Every structure is written in C-alpha cells, then in structure tokens.
C-alpha cells in the first residue's frame, strides 16, 4: 500500500506537469496564430502547430531533469540590409553573457572556433564588438570557395605561431569541429551571417546550402557520433518593406560614396556582381524549402507595427527566451538592444519612382505566391506580406517575369529621372 500510494502521487505529479506544458505550448501557439490570422491565404497553420509542439518538447525537457533537451540549429541568413548586423551583435552578447536574464547561453551556443586567437585583420564590422562576430561571416563565405582551391589565407583566425594558410577542407574542418563540440555538450547552435543569403544565388546557391548542411554535427565523422537530423534545422529569413528602401540600403552599403543612387540603378544590368539575392527574401526562403528545411519568414513591417525589435523577436519567438508579451526579457525590461550599421544619404530618385520600383519588385514576388502556403514555412507578424498577397491575387492571369526582367524594369524607371521625363 505504501508503494502504491507514492506511485499514485508520482503519477499525478507527472500528469500535472504534462498538462502545464501543453497549456504553455498552447498559449505560445495562440500568440503566433494571432500574428498570422490576418493572412488572406494559407499560411500553413499546421506548421505553426508543429513549432508549438517543438516548444512543448523543450519545456518538458526543462521540467524533467532526466530528459534530454531538444536541440536545434538556427540559421539566421539575413539577407543583407535587413537588420542583420544588429541582430548578430545582440545575439552574440546574449549568448555569451551567462548572467543575462534571457538565459539563452544555457541552451544555445554561438560556435566560434579559436575564440581568443583572432587576428587584427578581422575588420568586417565598423563598431566596437568582439571579432568573433566576423568569424561566422568568414565561414559563410567559405561555403562558396571551390574545393580545388589549394590554400586560403584566413582573416580573423590565426594560430599563436602565425600560421594562416590551409586548404578549404582544413579551414571548414575548424568550424565543423566547433559545431560538433557545442552540440554534444547539449547546446543548440545559432549561426548568423547575412553572407548566407548567397544561398539565393542561381548558380552557387544550392551547392552552398548543401555544404552548410554537411558541416552540421550529425553529418560529421567526429567522435563521439552526434544525434540529430536535418529536421532539426530552421532557417530564419527577414522580409523588408518598402521594397525600394531595401534596394536603397544595398546602395548605401556598397556604393553611396562612389556613385549616386540614380547612377547605381541605371547601370544595374552592367553589374555582373549586383547581389540580386540580397534583395530577394522570398526566393531565399524558397531555396531552403526546396531542400526540405523548415523556414521562418519574419515580416519586418509587422514587427514594426507591433513596436518590437527584431533581435528580441528572434530571442523570444525563435530561441525561446523568457519574455513578456511585449518581447522584453523577464528581469531586463529596460534593456535596449543594439542598433548598428544604419546608413542614410539623400538621392534624386523621386517618391513616385520609388513607388514604381516597389510595384515592379512586388509584381516579381508574385512568383512566390504558392510558396507562401508551404507546409514547412511559418510567417511571423505578416503585414506587408498580407498586402503583397492581395496585390498578387488582383493580377489575375497576368504573365509573371523573372529577376533579369525585374532589373530591366528598375533601370527603365530610373532613366525617367535622367531624361527629365
């Protein structure tokens, strides 16, 4: 009888914990659904439920010390000029601060090989932040290097003896080893670099994505063997609007000190290096979905409407930090996230032309209308995307056009200013 009584009490306690975690997951799912219910199309509610289930697994693991926490790899892939530098700076700080109220460092790692052995050439960031930020950018860029390249000079990473020359495979092996080490220690991985938007490139994108996935712990030959699968990957893509402002910011980053915005636009077709993929958030999301990778699309306009900061949204909604409904950390309500790399410069492109550029970019994006209902896609804070869908549905059977035609249309709009018409 004594054992039976304690067995019954233990069983009751387990039921209470399970019900509590289901309730927590349901509340979290409801919050996400509230942000998605305004969609005028199928925004894959089944996937939102599956995300809530993952969250419930994490909560159950926390309530049961004997359970192994559910680990995930989160790829923050930009694209460029969608707040990526600020996001990286904030997450780096939160993941390295073991006293931060978010407690993100307990569950997540920012995998930086050779931390503390970084050289003076690591200058990819223009403000005072640790150089480990740029080391992930270097890793992302390495994905596009050809395997037949014999040696690489590595910026940002150096051994005490000054050695900096390795084969491509040796270089990437440093990262693979660090990913594996953090994973087998029980942490999820956060890799954040806008350089990963190259996955949207038509020529190298699919190869880059396959190399990224091949670096993850469960594909590694490193001992001990790591559990996990590609279903544990989530790609996070940001969608910025107005679309013309995203294009303008790309000019800010590369060229505003060398040429006018008008000249930049008129000569788009002359630039083989123009990073179309950095403007093309929906295509970028589509590349991950085509490879079977769960994808989160964050509508930055909707984040702004809610009055949130996108770094906090990622920490709270994606990484599961303890937050208020206003996306502030419990115990750090007054903390202000870093806002970095904001640039501005006047130009002669008129408001009417900017609106016309918006229209042609959005019309091009109607190519991805079906993708927005993909079962492995979750859209957070839809706002501009709601309007995009309404526009696309209103086009009827109009023929759509590709990215090269889009560039031609933008050039034509920009030339109106040059001709004075």
Secondary structure (H, E, C), 109-163: ECCCCCCCCCCCCCCCCCCCCCCHHHHHHHHHHHCCCCCCCCCEECCCCCCCCCC
DSSP string computed for 177-220: HHHHHHHHTT-EEEEE-GGGGGGG-TTTHHHHHHHHHHTSGGG-
How many CA atoms are closer than 13 Å to the CA of 166, on its beta-carbon side?
A: 17
Structure tokens, 151 = 């040696």
Residue 380's DSSP bridge partners are 298
| Residue 408, number of CB atoms within 10 A of its CB | 14
Q: Which of 116, 119, 129, 126 is nearest to 89 (CA)?
A: 129
Residues near 341 by Cβ (< 8 Å), separated by ≥ 6? Answer: 85, 86, 126, 127
Q: What are phi and psi of 146, to 5 degrees?
A: -75, 145
Rounded distance between C-alpha atoms, residue 72 and residue 410, angstroms: 40
- Each residue's pLDDT, cut to its tens digit, for the chain (421 residues) gives 555 655 565 555 555 545 444 444 443 344 444 444 334 344 433 333 333 333 322 333 344 444 455 899 999 999 999 999 899 999 999 999 999 999 999 999 998 876 544 555 555 444 455 666 667 877 887 887 765 555 566 666 665 566 666 677 777 888 899 999 999 999 999 999 999 999 999 888 999 999 999 999 999 998 899 999 999 999 999 999 999 999 999 998 888 889 999 999 998 888 766 678 899 999 999 999 999 999 999 999 999 999 999 999 999 999 999 999 999 999 888 888 877 666 667 788 999 999 999 999 999 999 999 999 999 999 999 999 999 999 999 988 888 999 999 999 999 999 986 555 5
Cβ atoms of 112 and 135 closer than 8 Å = yes
Rounded distance between C-alpha atoms, residue 183 and residue 109, angstroms: 8
The CA-CA-CA angle for residues 413, 419, 421, to 5°, reads 70
Rounded distance between C-alpha atoms, residue 280 and residue 286, angstroms: 10
Rounded distance between C-alpha atoms, residue 224 and residue 221, angstroms: 8
Residue 188's DSSP bridge partners are 108
Residue with tokens 């200013």: 417
Q: DSSP class of residue 241?
A: S
DSSP SS3 for 318: helix
Cβ atoms of 348 and 338 closer than 8 Å = no
Give kind and range of the element (H or E) at residue 304: helix 300-306
Q: What is the pLDDT of residue 100?
A: 94
Q: What is the pLDDT of residue 360?
A: 97
Cβ atoms of 80 and 196 closer than 8 Å = no
Q: Classify residue 206 by burial, with Cβ atoms within 10 Å: 0-12, 13-18, 19+.
A: middle
């Amino acid at each position: 009888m004594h054992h039976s009584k304690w067995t019954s009490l233990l069983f009751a306690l387990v039921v209470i914990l399970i019900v509590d975690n289901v309730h927590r997951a349901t509340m979290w799912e409801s919050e996400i659904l509230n942000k998605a219910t305004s969609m005028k199309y199928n925004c894959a509610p089944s996937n939102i439920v599956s995300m809530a289930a993952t969250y419930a697994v994490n909560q159950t693991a926390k309530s049961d010390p004997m359970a192994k926490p559910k680990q995930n790899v989160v790829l923050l892939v930009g694209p460029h000029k969608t707040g990526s530098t600020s996001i990286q700076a904030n997450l780096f700080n939160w993941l390295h601060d073991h006293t931060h109220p978010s407690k993100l460092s307990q569950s997540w790692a920012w995998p930086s090989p050779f931390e503390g052995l970084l050289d003076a050439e690591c200058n990819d960031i223009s403000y005072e932040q640790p150089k480990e930020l740029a080391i992930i950018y270097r890793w992302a860029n390495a994905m596009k290097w050809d395997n037949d390249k014999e040696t690489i000079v590595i910026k940002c990473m150096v051994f005490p003896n000054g050695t900096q020359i390795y084969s491509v495979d040796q270089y990437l092996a440093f990262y693979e080893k660090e990913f594996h080490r953090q994973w087998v220690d029980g942490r999820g991985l956060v890799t954040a670099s806008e350089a990963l938007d190259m996955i949207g490139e038509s020529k190298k994108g699919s190869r880059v994505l396959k190399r990224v996935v091949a670096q993850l712990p469960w594909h590694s030959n490193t001992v001990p063997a790591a559990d996990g699968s590609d279903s544990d990957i989530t790609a996070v893509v940001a969608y910025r609007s107005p679309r013309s402002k995203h294009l303008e910011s790309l000019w800010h980053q590369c060229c505003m000190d060398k040429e006018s915005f008008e000249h930049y636009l008129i000569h788009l077709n002359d630039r083989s290096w123009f990073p179309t993929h950095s403007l093309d958030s929906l295509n970028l999301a589509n590349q991950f979905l085509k490879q079977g990778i769960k994808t989160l699309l964050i509508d930055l306009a909707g984040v702004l409407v809610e009055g949130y900061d996108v770094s906090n949204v990622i920490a709270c909604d994606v990484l599961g930090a303890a937050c208020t409904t206003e996306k502030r950390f419990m115990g750090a309500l007054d903390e202000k996230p870093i806002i970095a790399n904001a640039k501005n410069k006047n130009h002669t492109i008129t408001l009417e032309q900017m609106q016309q550029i918006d229209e042609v970019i959005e019309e091009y994006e109607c190519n991805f209308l079906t993708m927005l209902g993909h079962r492995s896609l979750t859209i957070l804070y839809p706002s501009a995307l709601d309007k995009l869908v309404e526009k696309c549905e209103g086009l009827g059977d109009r023929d759509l056009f590709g990215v090269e035609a889009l560039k031609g249309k933008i050039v034509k709009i920009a030339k109106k200013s040059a001709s004075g018409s």
